[in-house]
Structure 1
Amino acid sequence: MKINQLANRLNLFVLIVFLMGTNMSIIAQEFEHEKLWSFEDVKQKQWTLSKGNTISSSESHYKHGEKSLRWSWKKNGNITLHQAIGFEPFNPDGENKSIPSFAVWIYNEQAVDDHITFVFGTDETDNCQFSFGLNYKGWRAAWVSYERDMEGMPVSSMNRMRIEGPKSIQKGQLFIDHMFLCQAIDSRHHTPDQQVPFVNKGTTSNWLIQQAASLAEPDMDLPSGISKADQKAFKNIEKRFQDDILKKQTVSDKTVASLQKQFESYGIQRKGKHIIGLPIWFGRNAELYLPYITHKQAKTFYNATHQNVKSYFDFMMKVASAHANSSDVNQQQALENMFIDLYDHMIDQGFAAGSGFGTIHHYGYNWRNYYRSLFIMRDVLARNKRLSEAVEGMQWFAALGEVFEKPVGYGMDMDAFNTQVMGRLASVLIMDDSPQKVQYLNCFSRWIDNGLMPAPGLNDAFKIDGSAYHHANHYPSYATGGLTGAVRMVYFLNSTPFQVSETAHDNLKKALLTMRFYCNKLHWPTSMSGRHPEGKGKLVPDHYAILANAGSPDGQDAIDHELASAFLRLSAGKKSKYAKAFIKEGIESEATPTGHITMPYACSSVHRRNNWSVSVRGHSRYLWASEQYLGANLYGRYLAHGQLQVMGAGDPVTQTSSGFVQKGWDWNRFPGTTVINLPLDDLRADIRNVDQFSGYEEMLFSDEAFAGGVHAKNNNGVYAFILHEHDKYQGSLRARKSYFFFDDLIVCLGSGIENANAERPTETVLFQNHMAENDPAILINGEVFKRDDEQFKAQSSWMMDNKGNGYLLPEGTIYVKQGLQQSRDESSEKPTEGSFAAAVIEHGKAPKNASYQYCVLPATSVETLRERSKNPSYEVINQTSDKHIVYNKESNETGYVFYEAAQNNADGLIKNTNLPCIAMAQQTDDELELNLVNPDLALYSGPADEIYKDGKRVERSIYSRPWRPSPSQETVLELEIVGKWKTTDKAVQVKLLENGNTWLSVVCQHGLSEQVRLKEMK
């Protein structure tokens, strides 16, 4: 049933809870639905009870509403609810990939080494069951799948649930609340814990491994004692850690009074041995309501109710920070009392060792201040005899046991660097100094070191080419969070026995330096924005300073001058403790980066000169084109259809100053792309839950392996890819696109452009820029463009856009427009508008073998454009469906793109190849420099990993692909080049052919450039 069909069944009501002993009322908005059992009123007729067992509504403990079901049981007793369970078997072909599950919360006042059993049946027949452990005190939850997790065989006719009590205890009581008899839950998110360890067996999600990690034992030796070096390391690491997380503040009586008022809003009270207060929830628990509310509503459901655990932990951190900064004894005592009450209520609510809340997925974003506050208050916890319990809880949630076993392969989930590393380190540092603490830190250091190493395949986090990974692609917006943790780990551990290796340190440094190259000045390109094409994403300068303070990777320098110099440029002279220290050391700001880099694991290349940068991105059978979620990037299908973005306007350079503004942006017209221009309704993503490996999301691939670039000594380069849109949309769209980067110009070629859409035009976008108030006018052949729009035939024409970028247009039909345009927000879909200028090369409707040629000159002048249009410095030698070849006179370089293996090529030095490839050649006198690449990442071989239905590719998630973690395989690229040549490079095989030419072979891997230097034989 659809969400809108269920809207009339949804009741969100306001429950005013008056808490005894406080002067205020807490207004809590709670979810109510006929399928949710809240037990505000227990209907005895629905239940049958064995002798000695009783049930009633109780106000003693509650998770939802004001009451729960109190079950007073006796040994071997049971209670039975007579109610249709509502189970229907999972349909793998259905639209919803969630699985039917039971969900419940249970409060236990006394931990016992026993369990209860939930048995579901039809009339007198038991069909399926599961056990729930009782060795805990407080609230615990369970999400249990009927078909996957329970014993037995569930059936649709089930009409009762029996709960069997403990068999080893004479009597006791439990409190049951917030129960769903059958609810569809995402199969990835059921969390095993100490109560239901059998749930979601075999999950590899880094979010759900607490139970498995809790059983692990360290495989590294336990030292016999603590060395002086270890003791010194403990102090240094703990000081660095605390200095990082604890900010200085002035604490007054007014500060404490304000905190006290906020504390009272939680209504925490002690009643005998128990504590009560406002129920606290992990935000993801609201996903239980997804059949009846939207994903957007679920994300923030508990925020307005003051019940979200993130806010609770944030408040605990405020109290901890005030306590640490106060020197007043009375203030400290008041803050200590508050903190202990908050801590005890947190434990009672189930935020304790062994608990998984039903689901704990993506919890790390909410837990940061949990670890920080407990670490800061470690002395308070010890004084109140709670430190041992706190350490156990921290190590449970941090899943510390994962580090106890040697990692199997290089890399680590970027989310772990973002959300787990600080907690894991805190959970070790909070321990008393002991040999075990040394052992744990050794294991932790090994785990961090391994995580920083170049990861294979599409695994997180950092690649050999400087890409930073998440969701199986280069993803800077996730990387910034990951880098926040990564640089701190290297800094905290440096110059101690626990520091990371030089290789790991250097790989992290490469990721940072690469990021500052593809970002300009701070902002990354739109094509790298993932599902957030907002123009706001940018790097964090402090990352460079923190890693600089960890010293150089080889340990020779206490400050890494290269990173410190980068920081000074990126921070733009802003005053900071880092800048002050670096300047004192005589370190100066770096010059603006210049050159050319290829990023094969990002399907991108970046070219820089002066203050401008140009990025290009495609996609392939390995790397998706665009990530789209419900409510995120709904119109960004064309982000990686060959987007060529110039960022060079403004001081500093930003996305906005360079022309990208989301309000009013035409989502059909990312610069450089070849697309079918569609109405927004047709361009909007049709986001589905396509399998049980993923949620509601879309990440589409092509079936082409050819995508990547080559560079010549990181100065110039060539990028090319074969465009083939996925069959979910315009699967007939094909093109072969190339970009030749020669110093201050980029030659752009396209051939083989075709599709079957006879209703909508196909076009290649030259530019789309927001029109700011003081922008210069668009020029066409030196004349100011004054019309709203115009179509013209290019004949050695030139244009200059409103951001100062030039375009040489040898031929083609050009359409130019400027003025106010309407669009929609990429997330909310609300109407937007803005003033924009755009120009495209038109290919008509349903083109066959169309082509284009143009040249971009970033941040140029009218004089230069006029001269270049008359006397181009480049020559297009070949532009066919199987190859593009361009020669640049000024640099004496020839770029080659062979989309198919070259066969008897008569244009240039390269005659034959055994594989498709990209090359750049420069010949001077009797020397030849060849830069070569096989752009195929070779994560798997053979035809594209696609499944077809009715001759078309079926949409599948990236997470379902078995080759995803596979390392890039070596391929041997063989070439025949004209003339007789030799080399001293032992990695290159060379032999002379009978026809007077030279054969050579080069091993390629990772899509990285290979350089070959040859000398002519005379």
Structure 2
Amino acid sequence: MEYYKFKKLLVFFIISVIYTGCFKTVSAQEFRHEKLLSFEELNQEKWSKTKGNNLSLSNKHYKNGAYSLCWTWKKAGSITLNKAIGFIPFNPEGEDKAIPSFAVWIYNENPVNDHIKFVFGTDGSDNCHFSFGLNFKGWRAAWVSFERDMQGEPVSSMNMMRIETPESVNKGQLFIDHMFLCHNIDSRHHTPDYQVPFVNKGTTNSWLIQQEASKAVPDIEAEKVITEEQIASFKTIEKRFYDDIVKKQKVDGKYIEKLTKQFQHYNIERKGAQISGLPIWFGRNAELYIPFIDWKEAKGFYDKGGQNVNAYFDFMLKVATAYVNVKDEGHKKQLHSMFMDLYEHMVDQGFAAGSGLGTIHHYGYNWRSYYRALFIMKNVLRSEGRLQEAVEGMQWFAAVGEVFYKPEIYGMDMDAFNTQVMGRLASILIMENSPQKVQCLKCFSRWIDNGLMPAPGLNDAFKIDGSAYHHANNYPAYATGGFTGAVRMVYFMSGTSFKVSKEAHSNLKKALLTMRFYCNKLHWPTTMSGRHPEGRGKLMPDHFAILAKAGSPDGNETVDNELGAAYLRLVDCKKTSFTNEFLQQGIKAETTPQGHISMPYASSSIHRRGEWVASVRGHSRYLWAAEHYIGANLYGRYLAHGQLQIMGFGNPVTANSSGFVQQGWDWNRFPGTTVINLPVADLRADIKNVDQFSGYEEMLFSDEAFAGGVVSGSQNGIYAFILHEHDKYQGSLRARKSYFFFDDKIVCLGSGIENDNKDRPTETTLFQNNLADGDSSLLLNGVVLHDKELEVEGAENWMMDNKGNGYLIPYGNIFFKQGLQESRDESSEKVTKGNFASAVLNHGKAPQNASYSYCVLPGTSSDNIRKAASDPGYKVLCQTKEKHIVYNEGSSEMAYVFFEAADENNVGIIMNTSLPCLAISKINGESLTLNVANPDLALYNGSADEIYKDGKRVERSIYSRPWRSSESQETDLTVELNGAWHSADQKINTVITNEGSTIVTFKCKDGMTQSVDLVRK
């Protein structure tokens, strides 16, 4: 590291390379460190060679710097580097979960069906080895773990590396570059390929399955003859795909000059059968340079020098798009030549079938333009005799073989919908029409269909409740990308022989409509922002329009009217490419959605009235409280401690206009949460790589199963959860929290609040809002608040915040604050400032069995809240640690939260229950409507899946949990009702007891609401 400190890490430099008597300038960003062997110079004394084997430096091919190590042999033998390997065995108890590995790039001019052998040893004795296949032309890489992937037993004393020639080739030449003898690499990321198929054996990582997928054979038999209907389907799908990716543009001489200048940056030249130019890298390769540079530097390392393949593929797409738009034949030929140079240089750099590039994890985000560009240039590739090679390359990177297996479990990684489906489809559509193309597309359609179905457990992508999943939780930020691919797949194949099923189509539609329900109008709540609590996340209206054009799931509508109406509302009927089409078909914008939904797999409930949306979110032993990465959401620990966010203020309504602004935000005070108020520095996430299933990230769980909601007639509902913070931080904090959503009000109750922190206060936040022009006045009992700080004790207080929301506070110590406050940026940690108003209920330090009760009236007026103060329209009938029961007068509903199974309850009609549960009952004369839910997702039985050390829960990643993919288990919930009741529905199991009560049994699953209508007997 001292060497590194006194040398510049990153340098921009000019390399002069002689090509056929001419000097060429290549601008690149290079990494320098003593651990990286870049072969800019050669110390022959460090190397020993058997007879007929020679080493030299060469600028003919290079991957890093200006030179590579050229190994030429004229007879079988080996070369040996005499140097300490630097191997240190992996310590599973250590903080670093990366594993010691060897990394190298090799260039081969002449493919052979054989391999070279890398051997590592100590003082002439061999310790471990691996083989590297040579059946390729161009650059290839390998990341190989010493302990997991190599044969033999590596030891710390290893001090030599020997490379042995292939047995079947008496003479040959290879170029070696960018070598790390031993470097710690994330164990999840080594990628198997044709050269090193044994690497990371058995990986199921969706990014790394190219090698396994390449061996797959379709389980659907190929038809002998392709039908006219299938050919017509190909044409329809290909046209839709082409129209979607090709944008019309003017291509004139100026634009050609611009493209030519960009093209020259890559310095591509041909010399006989060889091609060379600026080295192109997949950005993730720079992760090898960590910890010598930090992750932020590594992330964009190849961008500045224009070497990142993402930009390279984008440029290829630019050239391809220009080619199909240009009218001048001279320019067309120029673009043809330019594209083929780019294509062949790309292949030469290792972006070809069979190549894993060392690592290819999360590559999909960078490959989008690759598939599009090659698909567009199908005819050009065919004319150059490279079409089959292109198809093979596309199908390798798209891992098309994965679709050849009949899926066993519903669902698909959301990243696949986001980054892979377009590429997979393109790599099939680019094939020449044949029975094999039909076979592939049938498999693909089946794979898409399966991926859209409700996935079990915490698997991606779509759930029975409308949640859209990634990272084992509802995650709109990832879902928007996933929707981009999913809606296109359904639309492209709609009305053809390859369309998806009604059920799959319906489930996707439900996920979209659910997103528009919890967003207002476009923005989703901060509770669902994952590791990006910035208040800027929003849905994409085009998703609704594209899926609408696929028709209704049942096929009765050529354009789905419901989705079309949703789209028109989301864009305010503004003129777009879709608006006129929908309006001409008589579709009108929908009215603003109203009602209530529960999302068990998001641990959330959503309530809508008028133009406002209220969302609440908690967490449990199944669903994490917050996601933290290095440089992302460093302070948002309390995001799901029961945050109740109201979005209904502003034009347009957004999270920011409704009060959440990150600059200056007090991370202790998310509305609705119960927390221990800590200094901002103490809130910073201590992010670790806790196991080999995960990276540097933090996603902490409770050990409580009770978290979820119940819905009454799609209009009202309850959400409740048991809060128990993880022991990594304030593990003594506990509370039992409930939210009763009745019409235009939300009754919030808390009981059993306790912790042992005697230094800091425990608070429940009523509101925290940014102060902005156009805000309403802040009121306390009708008096405008001008105080910077104010404490209020007593009963029957009411408040109005500055965003038009009212609060009834029957009791409690209220602390109010307004003015300039200082905080930290969630990503950069820089100091931020902003003007805010906040009010909290102060429970004191180290409270024991504390409680609170308040009611929120969103989007109200001071007159309405004043009236509600004297006649709230609800009654809290029971508020203990075991149960919360509230009666709503307006809807005549009794609402119950039984944190523990009800036992001889005498409030309302429910007497006993077999399990903790939530319920809403409504008696209307001689009839009873009962809605119940078991909020336990029941992904596993028994006590919480926790490991304890010194009496405290140990941090573990969600990805290490064996139950993560488990189906929700069905549970029997029995409810005993006061009085004799029966149902006309024979499927409803009711038993009248000798005492005259009625026992009803419900089959509960997925945390969903179960409803029954009964009549008095």
TM-score (normalised: structure 2): 0.99
1:154-169 map, 5 Å: 154-169=154-169
Q: 1:690 offset after TM fit, Å?
A: 0.1
Q: 2:382 maps to which residue?
A: 382
Q: 1:221 maps to which residue?
A: 221
Contact persistence 1:980–1:1016 (CA under 8 A): yes
Contact persistence 2:3–2:34 (CA under 8 A): no
Q: 2:875 maps to which residue?
A: 875
Q: 1:327 offset after TM fit, Å?
A: 1.4
Q: Distance in 1 between matches of 2:780 and 2:917?
A: 36
1:189-228 map, 5 Å: 189-228=189-228
Q: 1:573 offset after TM fit, Å?
A: 2.1
1:35-74 map, 5 Å: 35-74=35-74
Contact persistence 2:735–2:751 (CA under 8 A): yes
CA displacement 1:511-548 (0-9 Å, x = unmatched): 00000000000000001000000101000000000000
Q: 1:415 maps to which residue?
A: 415
Q: Distance in 2 between matches of 1:9 and 1:933?
A: 64
Q: 1:397 offset after TM fit, Å?
A: 0.2
Q: 1:707 maps to which residue?
A: 707
Q: Distance in 1 between matches of 2:935 and 2:342?
A: 56
C-alpha distance 332-7 of structure 1, shift in aligned 2 (>3 A):
same
Q: 1:182 offset after TM fit, Å?
A: 0.1
Q: Distance in 2 between matches of 1:366 and 1:610?
A: 42
Q: 1:235 offset after TM fit, Å?
A: 0.5
1:721-740 map, 5 Å: 721-740=721-740
Which residue identity is paired with 2:297? Q
Q: 1:272 offset after TM fit, Å?
A: 1.6
Contact persistence 1:454–1:464 (CA under 8 A): yes
Which residue identity is paired with 2:521? K
Structure 2: tracts of 5 or more residues without a match? none
Q: Distance in 1 between matches of 2:997 and 2:310?
A: 69
Q: 1:136 maps to which residue?
A: 136
- Percentage of pairs with the same residue: 67
Q: 1:10 offset after TM fit, Å?
A: 6.0
Structure 1: tracts of 5 or more residues without a match? none
Q: Distance in 2 between matches of 1:39 and 1:212?
A: 34
Which residue identity is paired with 2:13? L
Q: Give secondary structure in 1 for the equivalent of 2:207.
A: coil
Q: Distance in 2 between matches of 1:878 and 1:547?
A: 47
Which residue identity is paired with 1:871? D
Q: 1:14 offset after TM fit, Å?
A: 2.5
Q: 1:23 offset after TM fit, Å?
A: 9.1
Q: Distance in 1 between matches of 2:293 and 2:719?
A: 45
Contact persistence 1:794–1:809 (CA under 8 A): no
Contact persistence 1:75–1:167 (CA under 8 A): no
Which residue identity is paired with 2:74? K
CA displacement 1:108-163 (0-9 Å, x = unmatched): 00100110000000012100000000000000000000000000000000000000
Which residue identity is paired with 1:281? W
Contact persistence 2:53–2:75 (CA under 8 A): no
Q: 1:773 offset after TM fit, Å?
A: 1.7
Which residue identity is paired with 2:432? D
1:925-940 map, 5 Å: 925-940=925-940
C-alpha distance 25-1014 of structure 1, shift in aligned 2 (>3 A):
same
Contact persistence 1:39–1:68 (CA under 8 A): yes
Contact persistence 1:99–1:187 (CA under 8 A): yes
Q: Give secondary structure in 1 for the equivalent of 2:976.
A: strand
Q: How many residues align?
A: 1015
Q: Give secondary structure in 2 for the equivalent of 1:577.
A: coil
Contact persistence 1:621–1:702 (CA under 8 A): yes
Q: Does 1:981 align with 2:984?
A: no
1:571-650 map, 5 Å: 571-650=571-650
Which residue identity is paired with 2:35? K
Q: Distance in 2 between matches of 1:102 and 1:819?
A: 56
CA displacement 1:364-401 (0-9 Å, x = unmatched): 00000000000001101111111110000000000000
Q: Distance in 2 between matches of 1:772 and 1:255?
A: 46
CA displacement 1:788-823 (0-9 Å, x = unmatched): 010001421110000000000110000011111111
Q: Distance in 2 between matches of 1:76 and 1:908?
A: 89
Q: 1:572 offset after TM fit, Å?
A: 1.5
Q: Give secondary structure in 2 for the equivalent of 1:417.
A: helix
Q: 1:702 offset after TM fit, Å?
A: 0.1
Contact persistence 1:987–1:1002 (CA under 8 A): no
Q: Distance in 1 between matches of 2:284 and 2:149?
A: 20
Q: 1:984 offset after TM fit, Å?
A: 1.8
Q: Does 1:742 align with 2:756?
A: no
Over 4 Å off, 4+ runs:
4-10, 19-24
Contact persistence 1:10–1:33 (CA under 8 A): no
Q: 1:1012 offset after TM fit, Å?
A: 1.1
CA displacement 1:745-797 (0-9 Å, x = unmatched): 00000000001111111000000001112212200000000010100014211
CA displacement 1:62-102 (0-9 Å, x = unmatched): 00000000000234210000000000100001110000000
Q: 1:13 offset after TM fit, Å?
A: 2.3
Q: Distance in 1 between matches of 2:660 and 2:461?
A: 28
Q: 1:15 maps to which residue?
A: 13
Q: Distance in 1 between matches of 2:912 and 2:9?
A: 71
Q: Distance in 1 between matches of 2:582 and 2:549?
A: 9
Q: Distance in 1 between matches of 2:13 and 2:375?
A: 36
Contact persistence 2:614–2:646 (CA under 8 A): yes
CA displacement 1:639-697 (0-9 Å, x = unmatched): 00000000000122111110111111111110000000101111000000000000000
C-alpha distance 5-946 of structure 1, shift in aligned 2 (>3 A):
farther
Q: CA RMSD in A?
A: 1.1
Q: 2:862 maps to which residue?
A: 862
Q: Does 1:406 align with 2:406?
A: yes
Q: 1:9 offset after TM fit, Å?
A: 6.4
Q: 1:907 offset after TM fit, Å?
A: 0.9
Contact persistence 2:626–2:637 (CA under 8 A): yes
Q: 1:988 offset after TM fit, Å?
A: 2.2
Q: 1:291 offset after TM fit, Å?
A: 1.8
- Residue range with higher mean Cα deviation, 980-989 or 860-869: 980-989
Q: Distance in 2 between matches of 1:433 and 1:972?
A: 54
Q: Distance in 2 between matches of 1:276 and 1:399?
A: 28
Q: 1:799 maps to which residue?
A: 799
Q: 1:816 maps to which residue?
A: 816
- Residue range with higher mean Cα deviation, 979-988 or 915-924: 979-988
Q: 1:436 maps to which residue?
A: 436
TM-score (normalised: structure 1): 0.99
Which residue identity is paired with 2:467? S
Q: 1:709 offset after TM fit, Å?
A: 0.2
Which residue identity is paired with 1:501? S
Contact persistence 2:16–2:23 (CA under 8 A): no
Which residue identity is paired with 2:133? G
Q: Does 1:185 align with 2:185?
A: yes
Q: Distance in 2 between matches of 1:937 and 1:546?
A: 33
C-alpha distance 618-771 of structure 1, shift in aligned 2 (>3 A):
same
Which residue identity is paired with 1:199? V
Which residue identity is paired with 2:16? F
Which residue identity is paired with 1:507? N
Q: Distance in 1 between matches of 2:966 and 2:721?
A: 22
Q: Give secondary structure in 2 for the equivalent of 1:565.
A: helix
Q: Does 1:238 align with 2:202?
A: no
Q: Distance in 2 between matches of 1:842 and 1:786?
A: 21
1:300-315 map, 5 Å: 300-315=300-315
Q: Distance in 1 between matches of 2:818 and 2:911?
A: 46
1:461-480 map, 5 Å: 461-480=461-480
Q: Give secondary structure in 1 for the equivalent of 2:838.
A: strand
Contact persistence 2:722–2:735 (CA under 8 A): yes
Which residue identity is paired with 1:86? G
C-alpha distance 632-109 of structure 1, shift in aligned 2 (>3 A):
same
Which residue identity is paired with 2:180? F
Q: Give secondary structure in 2 for the equivalent of 1:657.
A: coil
Q: 1:7 offset after TM fit, Å?
A: 5.0
Q: Give secondary structure in 2 for the equivalent of 1:482.
A: helix
Contact persistence 1:75–1:168 (CA under 8 A): no
Q: 1:1013 maps to which residue?
A: 1013
Q: 1:991 maps to which residue?
A: 991
